[in-house]
Amino acid sequence: MDIETVKNLANLSKISITDQEAESVAKDLAQVLSYVDQIKNAPIGDVGTEKSLLNNNFREDTDPIETGFYTDVLLAEAPNKQDNYFKVPKIL
C-alpha cells in the first residue's frame, strides 16, 4: 500500500495525518494485507460434510429442581415478607 492511498483514506476518514505517520501506517497495512493474503491462500485440506469435530457438551437436564423447592428456606431468612414474596421499601 502506498503513502498516497493512506493519505486519501485519512482524508476520507477526516483524520489529519503527517507524512511520517502515513509511511508508518502504509507499512503496517501492507503487513496486515500480506497476512490476510496468506490466510486466504492457506490449504484447508479435505473439508467434507462429515460430522464436525466439535460436540455439544451440555449435560442432560435429567433432575431439574422443582419450582418453589427453596422458597420457604429463603423466605425464612428475609427480614420482611408477605405471603410468598420479599417485602421491600417502595423506591419511587
The mean predicted confidence, pLDDT, of the chain is 85
Q: Say if residue 17 is exposed, middle or buried (CB neighbours under 10 Å; 0-12, 13-18, 19+).
A: middle
Residue 5: how many other CB atoms lie within 10 Å = 13
- pTM recorded for the entire structure: 0.44
pLDDT (tens digit, 9 = 90+) per residue, 21-57?
A: 999 999 999 999 999 999 988 887 766 555 566 676 7
Contacts 24+ apart (CB under 8 A), 14-17: none
Domains and CATH numbers, the chain: 3-40 (1.10.20)
